[in-house]
Structure 1
Amino acid sequence: MRDKTLLPAHSAETRFIPHSAPPRQMADAATRIDQLIARRRIAIAFQPFIDVMSHVIHGYEALGRPPVDAGFSDISELLSIASATDRRLQLECHLVARAIDRFMTLDLPGRLFVNLSPECLGHPDFSVDNLLACLQTQGLAYTRLVVELTEQHYSNFPHVLQANLDRLRKLGISLALDDFAAGYNGMLHWMDQQPEIVKIDRKMLSDIDKLPKKYRFVRSVVHLAKESGAHVIAEGIETPSEAGVLTELGVDFLQGYLFGKPATEPLRNIEPEILGHLVSYRQAQRTQQGLIRTLIQPARSVQHTTRLDTVMDLFLSSPELRALPVLDGESPVGIAWRHDLMNLYASPYGRPLNERRSISRLMDRRPVIVDESESLTVLSRRLSERDHRSFHDVFIITRGRAYAGIGQLIDLLRLYTTQQVRQAQHLNPLSGLPGNVPLNETLESWLAERQPFALVYVDLDHFKAINDHYGYQRGDQVLLMLSQILKDHTHPARDFLGHIGGDDFVILYRTTDWRAYCDEIIRQFDARIPAFYDPEDQQRGSIGTADRDGNPRQYPICSVTLAALNLGDDQVPNSHLLTEQISAIKSRAKQRQGSNLLVETLHDCRRPVTRI
């Protein structure tokens, strides 16, 4: 990703070079690019990204920063002018070499991500040997380098590009598809290159915690990545809620200003308060509240400085003990597995050579660690993504990043199966949406958290006439149409949508712009509903059928009523009061003609309640 926000504002003397500039201007720009390269004046900044499973820095992306007096607005303009002046190859190779040099000089942890365009990597003069020589000279292992290939550029020599990529990947250098969804050929590049990593562009992630369509699109991308065996990096994350939603969706790594701005002296550890925000977000948003807590089994642990012979004595004295969590203070850093120590001690000289060493030398450094506040879905995903060669049936559970105990896979499977069966029992058979029991549980949970939300009751007007006149199949089609509109305007990670029977739906909104969603629900419903009437009935604007007393009557085109109770900081004693109040609001709203939204607060509702 080319970060355009890194550079200071330009002085009055800075010159901008349009692509159609006269030859003299372009020649001057080419000279300045040559000087930047020769004098090594382009600074290299690094931006960290974190592993969502371990909350540690997985690596850094290297970003070029031309000096402000060079006359280029940012690195993107510099690269664009370099292409126009036939200097793209030299410039990109220079930036990669500088990034490797600075990365090793700073002794940064994890992997280094460098940007190479297909234009450069597919150039006949690009030298893989020179890149490998640079890595060897600087002492950076091939496996620690990741080449980011942007989807916004192409190569005139695709066979050269493919040959170079194949050679790099055979040596252990990984490929990341950069800026996915920012261009037009992302899926084609994905299929052609089969990258190990896919980076989703910020444009598709901004406000993903608020926009349901973005959420569903990214969910599809993540699913596709998992199916193809690729890891996913979410770029440009700026808020804890964005990070929380993307974690629940299953992305592997997060990058953005929330975790650290690009800097020539970058962060080496993520600020604890940032990680605390992520935990707080999950606690506020979780839909499987407290379930992982039920899996916690108290288990003995050891410190990472404990000697191997002490750990071995613990295993020998407890035949049923298969794993020992390893802590650094209160934080888990690994697991010691019984079979690993047994195999070591069974080997020639295994015991005398190792018994005085600390367990940190032999422990599993990448165990599955999950906080009790996370969902069963996240835990199941983390376990399923483990390599089969390192798969174990024990995982660590934390409470606020401190060790709380262990969990076992068999218990997780039982709990997850029970939850899935239970959820299926309470789904509406037509819409597939949750019914009354999940609604009441969610409502009570949200009330207990004392966070603001809106309760919206959705009801159709004159719907019975459709069933009576056209039959239940037509009525079911209308309900499916309405449920799809409602799904499109509720955020799966923030809101709750339930179908409580017949033509009655309930939405619990945490999305702040819920009123705009309600207005759009009405607009889309009114636009689509006429298509469910026969042409002559559409023209007449009504259908004739018997009323509840058996008398003939003309019913207008079906409309939708939305009755909303906006709960700010109001203290609500229980869900029964809300049920009474929303029923009263719905009664008043249905007295209006046509589709409408009526919004009230608890203060507005302090009047005699009309039960319906």
Structure 2
Amino acid sequence: MDMNAQSEVLVQFQKMIEKELIYSVYQPIVSLQDGHVMGYEALIRGPKDSPFHSPLAMFQFAEQQGELYMLEQLAREKAIQGSILEHPQQLLFINISSQVLYDPGFVPGKTLEILQKYGLRPSNVVFEITERSSIEDFSLAQKILEHYRKQGYRIAIDDAGAGYSSLQAIAELQPDFIKIDRSLIENIHKNKVKEYILETFVTFAQKMNISIIAEGIEHADELIKLTRLGVHYAQGFLLGRPNESPAKVQDSLKILIWQHRKVQGGGMTWSIGDLKTPVKVFDNKVQVSEVAEYFKKKQEDVGVVIVSEEAPVGLMMRDRLFQQLAGQYAFSLFWNRTIDGIMDGSPLIVDEFMSVEQVSQMATSRSINHLYDLVVITSNGKLAGVASIRTILESITNVRMESARVANPLTGLPGNLQINRELNKRMSENKPFHVVYADLDYFKWFNDRFGFQKGDQLIQYTADVMQQAIAVCGTPYDFVGHVGGDDFIVISSTKSPELLCQETIRRFEQGVQMFYEEEEWEYVWDRIGNKVKSEGVTLSLSLVVCSCESPISLEHISQTAALLKKKAKAHQGSIYYFQNIG
């Protein structure tokens, strides 16, 4: 490039910065547990008709001209300004290069000022450290990032798996998120070495309480493999291209995720919301003295939650507060300051629907200094309560003991005790749900003709069919139980309960023939010995749609299901009948 052309490009660049002509687009990051958007990565673009439209060209030129800090500062502001976060639990991932960490202008106060201007909080922001150049001083970078963590920001390491430097960054900086490079994701369903490497990443991340984000997913086969491996989140053109408006994940992709997701625990697992207890709350701007006086009066309280506009932003444990106040000058130094200056700005905050086992894993992987800190529980982004480590571990022990005691020994599905508990829970929530009772027709005839072993196999097959149908047509929190014998129950919140019944029947009919060993017959016998013309075992489904607009009871659900079952039994072949109640 000659001097005149270079000078012209420099003028264009300076004009772009001066007039703030850059803008941000946002690519969704999707949960591989439920298919919902957990956040967005902000990606900067230059003017469409300039040589700087490509972010690569723009940042490379800025680095050559010594203007990288200025460009990144403007990019951060544009990312926050155009933010499309839809609720307080979603996260905004903002790219920063490792060099910018050492920039004196890269200070929490400036970013916080911009966040507040646009209605966001530090807890909404993840700083994603990119590998434009390797980190030279890890101890200094660690101190800088720890300072940010105390403000409530989170950290992600980008391009993991692409080289040694990113692995060293993970070991030294202990991020909250690891983003796995596209080079390790591409065709992972065909490459066992890549699969084993990623499996190791997932295991390591679980032990360190780090979430894995797979980048660059372009094919459904890659998505399926990543979901089965237990990767937490995914990002790529398949799930959503960068855009200036909120993303909507295709229903077909959500179904793939639900069908193949690696569920933590089994049907007996409670959600952490079941264990929540009330907790004392303080605004983040109250004085340290007020919190200390409260702890002196309430000797039994081990911690309090610090909030801003009903959303938890920190935790103050009793022991840690008094340790801080015990220093030589600490009392006079902190007593009249606000609590947000010394609180833990990055406590473990979880949604009420997360499984107890998953929360236990996260809580026990914290550093020894925070191992016994309270776990903060939210509902729709607002504080719902807290749970102690003791309560969490006790509940897991109880659930496992109860599961072994009451689960059906043949199918491993929850039995009547858990079924009644789930039904009562759904009714108390006062939200619409559906109950599907499933019953095999002519099972006694099948058992007598083909033997008990074949009968057990048919029961297990039916249990698998019910669970597979839920995986395809249900939601992540649906429930499958084994009432006993050849009777099953599904409790679902799906928006398409009839489709769920149709899919269950389709799957059952598709495979039941394999149990007949190519035998032929014209008649079967029902339970009371009547001769019936039939091709074999069929499936009767009773669908009770509970609208919950008026009170309903277990008895009402049971009576309705019994009437529907009678209708279904009177019909030849596999069928479902449904009725609305409540």
TM-score by length of 1: 0.60
Deviations 1:127-161 (A, max 9, x none): 737x989xx9xxx979987564499xxxxxxxxx5
Counterpart code for 2:72: I
Determine which structure has more spread, i.e. the larger CA radius of gyration: 1
Quickly say closer, same or farther: Cα 1:302–1:564, change in 2 above 3 A: closer
* Alignment-derived partner of residue 480 in structure 2: 497
> 1:176–1:199: 8 Å Cα contact kept in structure 2?
yes
Pairwise mapping of residues 296-445 of structure 1 onto structure 2 (< 5 A)? Answer: 296=278, 299=280, 302-308=282-288, 311-312=291-292, 322-328=302-308, 331-369=311-349, 376=356, 379-396=359-376, 407-445=387-425
How does 1:180-329 map onto structure 2 within 5 Å? 183-185=186-188, 188-189=193-194, 191-192=196-197, 194=201, 198-200=212-214, 220-222=228-230, 238=248, 291-293=274-276, 295-296=277-278, 299=280, 302-308=282-288, 311-312=291-292, 322-328=302-308
Who is 1:112 aligned against?
Answer: 94
- Alpha-carbon distance in structure 1 between the residues aligned to 2:219 and 2:171: 32
Aligned partner of 2:447 in structure 1 is 467
Opposite residue 589 of structure 1, the aligned amino acid is A
Secondary structure (helix, strand or coil) at the match of 2:163 reads helix
- Matched residue type, 2:481: G
1:588 aligns with 2:571: no
**2: CA distance between counterparts of 1:104 and 1:516?**
46
Distance in 1 (alpha carbons) for counterparts of 2:234 and 2:448: 51
Q: SS at the partner of 1:517?
A: helix
Aligned to 1:601: 579
2:434 & 2:38 partners in 1: Cα distance? 39
Q: Name the counterpart of 2:537.
A: 558
Q: Which amino acid aligns with 1:509?
A: S
Q: Distance in 2 between matches of 1:363 and 1:386?
A: 17
Residues 465, 555 of structure 1: 8 Å contact kept: no
Please name the residue that 1:518 is paired with.
501
For 2:85, the equivalent position in structure 1 comes to: none
Q: Does the CA-based 8 Å contact 1:324-1:335 persist in structure 2?
A: yes
Give deviations 1:342-393, integer Å, cap 9, x for gaps.
4445544444444443333222112234576776456535523433342224
Change in CA separation of 1:455 and 1:197 when aligned onto 2, cut-off 3 Å? closer
Q: Does the 8 Å CA contact 1:114/1:148 hold for their aligned counterparts?
A: no
Distance 1:469 1:214, change over 3 A: farther
Which of 176, 179, 195 lines up with 2:179 in the alignment?
A: 176
Q: How does 1:42-121 map to 2 (within 5 A)?
A: 43-45=22-24, 47=26, 61-65=41-45, 67-69=47-49, 90=57, 93=60, 100-103=72-75, 112-113=94-95
Q: CA deviation at 1:488?
A: 0.7
Q: Could you list the per-position Cα deviations for residues 42-63 of structure 1 after superposition, in whole angstroms to 9, with x for gaps in the alignment?
A: 83415498999xxxx9997332
Q: Partner residue of 1:531?
A: 514
Look up the SS of the partner of 1:593 in the other structure. Answer: coil
Aligned alpha-carbon RMSD (Å): 5.5
1:68 deviates by 4.7
Determine the structure 2 residue equivalent to 1:162: 163
Residue from 117, 128, 136 that aligns with 2:133: 128
**C-alpha separation in 1, matches of 2:311 and 2:302:** 20
Amino acid at match of 1:443: L
1:576 aligns with 2:555: yes
* Matched AA of 1:597: I
- For the structure 1 residues 58 and 349, does the alpha-carbon distance in structure 2 shift closer, same or farther, using more than 3 Å as the test? farther
Q: Alpha-carbon deviation of 1:217?
A: 7.0
Flag the structure with more relative contact order, 1 or 2, with Cα contacts below 8 A and sequence separation at least 6: 2
How far residue 408 of structure 1 moved from its aligned partner, in angstroms, is 2.8
Deviation at 1:572, TM superposition (A): 6.1
Give the structure 2 partner of residue 485 of structure 1: 465
Inter-partner Cα distance in structure 2 for 1:389 and 1:548? 64
Q: How far does residue 180 in structure 1 lie from its aligned partner after superposition?
A: 9.9
Q: Find the aligned partners of 1:148 and 1:343 in 2 and give their Cα distance.
A: 37
CA distance in 1, matches of 2:351, 2:572: 51
> 1:361, 1:482 → 2: CA distance?
58
Residues 44 and 79, structure 2, Cα contact 8 Å, conserved in 1: no
Q: Give the Cα–Cα distance (whole angstroms) in 1 for the partners of residues 273 and 419 of structure 2.
A: 17
Given that residues 41 and 94 in structure 2 are in contact (C-alpha distance below 8 angstroms), is that contact kept between their aligned partners in structure 1?
yes
Report if the CA contact (8 A) 1:58-1:111 is conserved: no
Structure 1 unaligned segments of length 5 or more: list them.
1-31, 80-88, 117-125, 152-160, 207-212, 226-230, 252-285, 604-612
CA distance in 2, matches of 1:318, 1:446: 36
1:502 positional shift: 1.3
Q: Structure 1 549/493 Cα, relative in aligned 2: closer, same or farther at 3 Å? A: closer
AA matched with 2:212: V
Q: CA separation in 1, counterparts of 2:28 and 2:270?
A: 27
Question: What is the one-letter code of the residue matched to 2:485?
Answer: G
Q: Which amino acid aligns with 1:501?
A: G
Inter-partner Cα distance in structure 2 for 1:127 and 1:396 = 36
Cα–Cα, structure 1 residues 333 and 38, in superposed 2: closer, same or farther, change >3 Å? Answer: same
CA contact (8 A) 1:45 1:62 kept: yes
Shift in alpha-carbon separation, 1:374–1:185, aligned structure 2, 3 A: closer
User: Does the C-alpha gap of structure 1 residues 316 and 181 become closer, same or farther in structure 2, counting only changes over 3 Å?
Assistant: same
Q: How many residues align?
A: 473
Supply the distance in 1 between the matched residues of 2:333 and 2:385 (Cα, whole angstroms): 31
Q: Any idea what SS the aligned residue of 2:414 has?
A: coil
- Preserved CA contact (<8 Å) 1:59 1:112: no
- Deviation of 1:489 after TM superposition, in Å, equals 0.8
Q: CA deviation at 1:474?
A: 0.7
SS in 2 for 1:556: coil
| Structure 2 residue identity aligned to 1:563 | S
Amino acid in structure 1 at the alignment position of 2:163: Q
Q: Residue in 2 aligned with 1:276?
A: none
Distance 1:289 1:455, change over 3 A: farther
8 A contact 1:128–1:168 mirrored in 2: no
Residue 498 of structure 1: how far off its partner (Å):
2.0
**Normalised by the size of structure 2, how large is the TM-score?**
0.62
Shift of 1:463: 1.8
Whole-angstrom CA distance in 2 between matches of 1:107 and 1:453? 40
Q: Residue 566 of structure 1 contacts residue 599 of structure 1 at CA under 8 Å; is this kept in 2?
A: no
Cα distance in 2 between the residues matched to 1:488 and 1:434: 16
Letter in 2 for 1:102: L
Per-residue displacement from partner, 1:191-227 (whole Å, max 9, x unpaired)? 5584975335798999xxxxxx9999776443x56xx
1:282 matched to which residue of 2? none
Query: Contact (CA 8 Å) 1:181, 1:204: kept in 2 or not?
Result: no
The answer as to whether partners of 1:393 and 1:410 remain within 8 angstroms in 2 is: no
- Quote the offset at 1:233 in angstroms: 7.5
| Distance across 1 between alignment mates of 2:401 and 2:541 | 32
